[in-house]
Structure 1
Amino acid sequence: MTTSTLQEKAVNSIVRHNMLATGDHVVVAVSGGPDSVALLHVLEGLHDRLSFTLSVAHLNHKLRGEPSEKDADFVIEYAASLGLPCVVESEDVGRFCEEQGISIETGAREMRYAFLERVASSDDAQKIATGHTADDQAETILMRLLRGSGAGGLAGIRPVRDGNVIRPLLDASRQEVLAYLDDQGLAYCIDETNAETHHLRNHVRRSLLPVLQQDYNPEIVQVLCRIGEVLRTESIYMDHETERAFASCVIVADTGQVKMDVRTGNSLPVALQRRLVRHMVHAAGGQIKELTFDHIERFREFVAQEKSGRLLNLPGGLIVERRRDQIIVCRGMPEPFDMAIYVPGVTDVPVAGCRLDVRIIAPEDAPDAPDDDCALFDADLIQLPIQVRSRRSGDRIAPNGMAGTKALKAVFKERNIPRVERDRVAVVVSATDILWVAGHRRSRIARVTLGTKRVLMITCLQGAPNHL
């Protein structure tokens, strides 16, 4: 292929996907392999024409000993030959993957992108360019198909990721890249581990794709890339529709809980329901990658069933509760909490998603009919200090206006507090006595009377500034 052909493919991708703006600074990820060497050379030839600047970044993964060091030296020399600044760092990827319990491919990718983001931030760069090609795209789509990915996963590698990671060579084949390097007389490094077929990508690259090309369709790479492009654009549309559905029937509470209106959720098309489940899990702090098709279908069936009060466990410690008209998703049950309350002052209660504002006021300044978020007590009858804590087994309250005591569990049922929220409710106590289930029920202890001289007023302000 001619030099201009690969450059023009890059230009077409840059323009079509709006990858660059005038004046952008681009950090180019260069491993030393053929794809990244070609990418840097192509971009260096285009930077005047498209008005952007370049720098180079290389991460030594320390996985191959001396060859890894030689790759780093090669990249430094190559960047210097083009007059470009170069940042090189080393990370022990193997140890990181062992500590995290993840594959080398996953860990290397995580550390590489974290490194590139650090370099981009340090260089005030607007974009990060990687050397992914059409062959990488085809391999990724095949791998995800083998793993059972949905339409979003089968869209493959996006030309632009997160607004700042760009792939200008995504429409060019590996053969076109190699022909360009040969035509330009450019040297590059060979990673011998690419021949090891125990990695799925290498096996797909060296075994599956060649068989598909030879025995089924010589244009299989282009076919897979077209499928990815179709699914990518359709996925973008579906993402937009999912955002609209999320906004119409889902609320994210201050405590991190995600709540969905059951009727609206059940009325959505199945395709949107499945995407909405993933959206809700992400909003609740779960890992979408841990969700399987079966998890999503169980979630949908759980929503469709009318019995309330039931719980469903999802990967990552997420719990789902089915209420009569609502679905609640949250990250497990919180650890028990117990803290002193400032008297007077404001106490943050992050787990409960609230703040307790305590004041000592004159009886004439107290509200005549306080709502559920405000409780009044005779300050001189309260034993200090007072605490705020989570519920405990056997808790009982002496409800205001009633004789005897009542189990907190019964209060929660009366107030229709979801099971997944009960461990987050702020319980205000003095010594062993429960004074107030904040926002729900106060006790008859230390009631304000005509003889009260000072009033202790506690107001529950929803929305803790630093909720967990």
Structure 2
Amino acid sequence: MQGYRKLIVCHLNHQLRGAESDGDARFARDLAEAHGLPYEEATVDIIAQATRTKASMETAGRDARRAFFDEVAARHGSRNVFLAHHADDDVETILHHLFRGSGLRGIRGMDPISSSPGGLLITRPFLEITREDIDTYITAHGLTFREDSTNAGSTLGAPTRNRIRHRVLPFLKEMFQREVAGTLQRFARLAGRDEDYLQSATSAFLKEHQLLQPDRSLTVTTALKTAHPALQSRIFRWWLREVHAVPNIGNAEIESALELLTSPHVARVNLPSQLRLRRKAGRLFLEKA
């Protein structure tokens, strides 16, 4: 990366494709050696980790990569991580979240620069560059590369991202007769900008009206009852996810919880993980069902 002179090549072998995964590791190792760069490698059995933690393969892989980057960064005294996500990866994420019914937070796509839970600065320098541009550069300069064979399938049983990549995006390009990645990214950036403002307004509203109490309950004030639904839903989502760490909170659960503000006949709402939201004496409490 321009301006950085002490780059460290990192590769995590997920052990998902047998000899092919080992070949990827050798390729990364040889490439780092050819360019005289330090190299860090680790191997994690992602299938076993997903089984042990009862997480999806995608989540287990992401958690393993984060832990790997944190460990390498700490050992080398670094705080920057560069990832190779490109524009097509970003668009796949945007469409995937859009069709899952995500709100603005989900469809904002990937941020060019963000922070990891471990405090690392994550930079994606290729986020505005399409895969077609990258392939053109590779061909022009005669570069060798490795392709993950699992990215090729696009049948009904293939991962959703594969089908978006090989079927949805080519269809959209053909229909509109132009590249759609830039348009979808602009849409996502606008959504992200609006989401940032709404989140800022939510934080200011919580502080101004002192809604959160020391016992982690939420005060049901007139201001909260009459606030715009966009603010109400964000307050509830933040309170449940961040304050109480309730998992699997989606739009359906938020909409049910909002009935506690509008309906005098609803005093309890069931939530995931055998939890229940209860209204009592002008406050909202979370309890075990």
1:295 alignment partner in structure 2: 253
1:276 alignment partner in structure 2: 235
Mapped contact 2:241–2:249 kept (Cα < 8 A): no
1:171 alignment partner in structure 2: 128
For 1:240-251, list aligned pairs within 5 A. 240-248=200-208, 249-251=210-212
Q: Which amino acid aligns with 2:27?
A: F
1:213 alignment partner in structure 2: 173
2:272 alignment partner in structure 1: 315
2:214 to 253, 258, 261: 253
2:142 to 171, 185, 190: 185
Mapped contact 1:159–1:170 kept (Cα < 8 A): yes
Partner Cα separation in structure 1 for residue 97 and residue 184 of structure 2: 12
Q: Which amino acid aligns with 2:75?
A: S
Give the TM-score, by structure 1 length.
0.57
Mapped contact 1:263–1:325 kept (Cα < 8 A): no
Partner Cα separation in structure 1 for residue 33 and residue 273 of structure 2: 46
2:37 alignment partner in structure 1: 84
Partner Cα separation in structure 2 for residue 218 and residue 293 of structure 1: 34
Q: Secondary structure at the match of 1:168?
A: coil
Mapped contact 1:93–1:107 kept (Cα < 8 A): yes
Give the TM-score, by structure 2 length.
0.90
Seen in structure 2, the aligned counterparts of structure 1 residues 113 and 287 have a Cα distance that, compared at 3 Å, is farther
Mapped contact 1:62–1:93 kept (Cα < 8 A): yes
2:88 to 87, 111, 135: 135
Mapped contact 1:318–1:329 kept (Cα < 8 A): yes
Partner Cα separation in structure 2 for residue 316 and residue 55 of structure 1: 42
Unaligned stretches of 5+ residues in structure 2: none
Mapped contact 1:307–1:324 kept (Cα < 8 A): no
1:36 alignment partner in structure 2: none
RMSD: 2.0
Mapped contact 1:59–1:112 kept (Cα < 8 A): yes
TM superposition shift of 1:243: 1.4
Q: Which amino acid aligns with 2:235?
A: L
Mapped contact 1:322–1:328 kept (Cα < 8 A): yes
Q: Which amino acid aligns with 1:271?
A: A
Q: Secondary structure at the match of 2:161?
A: helix
Matched, 1:199 2:159: yes
Seen in structure 2, the aligned counterparts of structure 1 residues 241 and 173 have a Cα distance that, compared at 3 Å, is same
Show CA shifts across 1:111-144 (max 9, x none). 2122212222222211111111111111111111
Mapped contact 1:55–1:86 kept (Cα < 8 A): yes
Which of the two has greater strand per residue?
Answer: 1
1:224 to 184, 193, 197: 184
Q: Secondary structure at the match of 1:54?
A: coil
Q: Which amino acid aligns with 1:314?
A: L
For 1:4-153, list aligned pairs within 5 A. 43=1, 46=2, 50-51=3-4, 53-153=6-106
Partner Cα separation in structure 1 for residue 143 and residue 206 of structure 2: 50
Which of the two has greater helix per residue?
Answer: 2
Show CA shifts across 1:289-332 (max 9, x none). x1221211111112222358x322212343311123222235x3
Mapped contact 1:59–1:90 kept (Cα < 8 A): yes
Partner Cα separation in structure 2 for residue 108 and residue 51 of structure 1: 27
TM superposition shift of 1:84: 1.4
Mapped contact 2:278–2:286 kept (Cα < 8 A): yes
Mapped contact 1:307–1:322 kept (Cα < 8 A): no
1:161 to 81, 93, 114: 114
Q: Which amino acid aligns with 1:212?
A: L
Show CA shifts across 1:387-413 (max 9, x none). xxxxxxxxxxxxxxxxxxxxxxxxxxx
**Off by >6 Å, runs of 4+ in structure 1:** none
The number of equivalent residue pairs is 281
Mapped contact 2:217–2:283 kept (Cα < 8 A): no
Q: Which amino acid aligns with 1:298?
A: S
Partner Cα separation in structure 2 for residue 252 and residue 234 of structure 1: 28
